[in-house]
Chain A
Amino acid sequence: MLIKLIPKQIPIFWDTIKYGCKNADALHQEHYQPYFNELLHALLSDKAQCFVRLDEKRIIIGLLVTRFVGNKITGEKELHLQSAYSFQSEGQKIWEKDFGVILDIALKTNCTKITFETSNPQLASLGESVGCKEVSRSYVYPVGG
């Protein structure tokens, strides 16, 4: 079961959200403060949305942070999956079911695309399994230092 937390619930589950996002985005400690500060404000303003997946005992076993993003070039609205974290290994069927919920939200909010970026091959593979297509690759050249 995938549930969207309302802004008032964010403080209650803030430790779990931080834990999930830190692991999903491989955050370094020196970046915690700016990252979580921005995320907290975004979640409290509903600029970012947090979904949790519960097991039968109502324990949070998965977490997803999304944002609605406007494409400045095309003017289209996209549903961006910012961070996804699972506290336990999940099967393909559960992922498909969760993706179905996200797709439904994207359709109802007039989004033309669902987007995500990942360096995790497993997540890329899950995305491809539901029909997501790779559109770009990101490269970095460290300058100086």
Chain B
Amino acid sequence: MSDNIDQDIKDYIDTKIEGLYLSLTEIVGNAMAHQAFCNKVNAKFYKDHPEFKDKKEVVASVVEMIDGENPAIEYDQLLEKAIPRIRERLATTNSMDVSSITTNPNRDFGNGEV
């Protein structure tokens, strides 16, 4: 009796494991298809906007930020939405000095208005 129950449990587990293994191909296939889609969209994005090609860290940073704000958005729409923000970010960072220090910076906070 006990042996039969053990065998039933074993058979049940084996069936589940087999099902899991079979679904792995589907999961990996989907992941690969998604990655291929992203690569294609990325390639098109940089082809359409060659000015962003050398600023991939800025693109990644802005895209990540917009992705956080819009978790349900499609990847191609996300990139489209990021374009004005990337331009804005590049304009800001290009005007900022990152290689020297002002010895006496203006520390007046004022009203802090932008």
Contacts and interface: CB of A to CB of B under 8 A. Distances in A.
Interface residues of B, number: 27
A52 B102 CA distance: 18
Given A9-B112, A58-B110, A15 B102 contact: yes
7 contacts: A5-B112, A15-B106, A16-B106, A18-B97, A44-B61, A59-B108, A60-B108
Nearest to B88: A44
Interface residues of A, number: 31
Contacts of B98: 18, 32-33, 36-37, 40
A34 B88 CA distance: 21
Of A3, A19, A47, most B-chain CB atoms within 10 Å: A19
Contacts of A32: 98-101
Interface in A16-40: 16, 18-19, 22, 32-33, 36-37, 40
Interface of B: 57-58, 61-62, 64-65, 89, 92-93, 95-103, 105-112, 114
A36 B99 CA distance: 7
B101 A45 contact: no
Contacts of B102: 15, 18-19
Nearest to B100: A32
A14 to B, nearest CB: 6
Contacts of B110: 58
Contacts of B93: 37, 40-41, 44
A119 B4 CA distance: 67
Given A45-B62, A45-B65, A33 B99 contact: yes
